[in-house]
Amino acid sequence: MKTTILNTFFIILIATFFTACTSKNIEKIEISNINIKEKLPNDDFMNQNKEANKLLQKHFSPWSQEEVSYSQLEAMWGLNYKFRDIYLENYKKASLGWFLKQETNANFEKYNTLKKKAITLKNTNVRVLPTNQPMFFKPTKPGEGFPFDYNQNSLLKINSPIIVSHLSKDKAWAYAQASSFGGWINISDIAFVNEKFINKFKTNDYFIAIKEKFPLYENGFREYVKVGTIFPKKDDTYLVAQKVQNQEANISYINIKDEEVSAFPIKYNAENRIKIAKQLLNEPYGWGGLLNNRDCSSFTKDFFAPFGKYLERNSKGQAKNGFYKDMSKLSNEQKKLFLMKYGVPFSTLVYLKGHIMLYVGIKDNEPLVMHNVWSVKLKDSNGDEYRHIIGKATITPLDMGRELKDFDEDKSILKKIQGLVIL
């Protein structure tokens, strides 16, 4: 397809739905005139089949392990929170006794003694400590209360292979490793698998969810499925696990509508980029996947998953998933020019410590990014910091919030950008 034709096609698609608005005071961004003429997304920017095989290998890697791969000391990192001031759901400070209770229940003297392979039965939270209780640094401080539960490590989708190290003393939690992270999972959300199950489940015919939070049914409601969820297929049915006796897994065959999943990987073209982005935009912000939502890095991870591109779970890891170009020494204006010169829309990540964004193109000579973001930091006339909440996946300029009265350039995302990652 010629560049001009693709450019026009791409812009028309974007114009149908892309609107970003961070505040009634911030100019709405209509993306209908984003300029991607200078540097189009390359439909062949990766060998999709090769990358998809890598993603599947990573996805199933826990079932190729004999035990959790990292050391007991690494697995116990969350216990170090006892040396910090941590507040619980009642906004009361957690006592040393509370932490000692969690540490005892964590049962790490049994680390890597169970060594059983398992699978998730639903979308499930992965916790830092074996409890559903949240941990906040200071609930009354902007950006340190809800939704920033530091006991939330991540979210695992239904059908995720894991390997279990051991159980908590109360047997309510399993310490497990997934494809790119580990932590505590509620025992009711998993089932153990054997080699027979694994051999049947790995059909070599895989489909991936391309619609966000559609209901999955198996003798009634089962789960709201997220984009990026992988389903093995056999004949005209899809495979999920169900729990039978003794916490063991059995394969269940279910039906899913054609418009909800697609053969993996889907083609990396303009139409599909728009389709996936449309599903992810406007989703509420979810720190570590809290409440079945996404944060910045799960947004970028799940955007690329349907195309077969594997990204690490956190922003720091994703900065290593491509060719990194440093921008840390540049001025704010130089950063914009650098991104517009080297960035490729929908194939480039923009990285700063603790946050990552997807570069999508240019409007009015301003580079734009798509990201799931919590807030804009502001500072009033007394020098006191407060936040304007965005709390969703949206499209913004790099210096989002600049139209706000108390915009603080020194605290802006643009100021903190470290580099870009060309995938």
Provide the pLDDT for residue 42: 65
Last residue of a domain, one of 263, 290, 306: 263
The predicted structure's pLDDT at residue 385: 87
- pLDDT band of 212, cuts 50, 70, 90: very high
Q: Is the pLDDT of residue 327 over 90?
A: yes
Same domain, 180 and 195: yes
60/19 same-domain check:
no
Q: Are residues 182 and 299 in the same domain?
A: no
CB-based burial of residue 168 (10 Å sphere; 0-12 exposed, 13-18 middle, 19+ buried)? buried
User: Are 239 and 94 found together in one domain?
Assistant: yes
Of 263, 288, 319, the residue at which a domain comes to its end is 263
| Domain total in the chain | 2
> What gap in Å lies between CA 357 and CA 341, rounded to an integer?
17
Using the 3D structure, point to which of 233, 263, 293 is the last residue of a domain.
Answer: 263
Residue 414 or 380, more confident = 414
> What is the CATH number for 387?
3.90.1720.10
Q: Are residues 117 and 149 both part of a single domain?
A: yes
Question: What is the pLDDT averaged over residues 314-336?
Answer: 96
Residues 304 and 410 in one domain: yes
Categorize the per-residue pLDDT at 269 as very low, low, confident or very high, splitting at 50, 70 and 90: very high
Query: Do residue 117 and residue 177 come from a single domain?
Result: yes
User: Are 79 and 196 found together in one domain?
Assistant: yes
Using CA atoms, how far apart are residues 266 and 56, in angstroms rounded to an integer?
Answer: 14
pLDDT, residue 17, reads 38
> Residue 45: pLDDT band by 50, 70, 90 thresholds?
confident
Beta-bridge mates of residue 239: 253
Side by side, the strands of the sheet bearing 182-186 are 152-156, 124-127, 182-186, 173-177, 161-167, 116-120, 190-192
More confident: 91 or 41? 91
Say which residue, 10 or 93, is predicted with more confidence.
93
Residues 75 and 194 in one domain: yes
Q: What is the pTM of this model?
A: 0.91
Q: Are 211 and 290 in the same domain?
A: no
User: What is the residue range of 18's domain?
Assistant: 3-46+270-422
Lowest-confidence range among 40-49, 222-231, 271-280, 293-302? 40-49
Q: Are residues 113 and 242 in the same domain?
A: yes
Same domain, 190 and 315: no
- Residue with token string 């809290």: 290
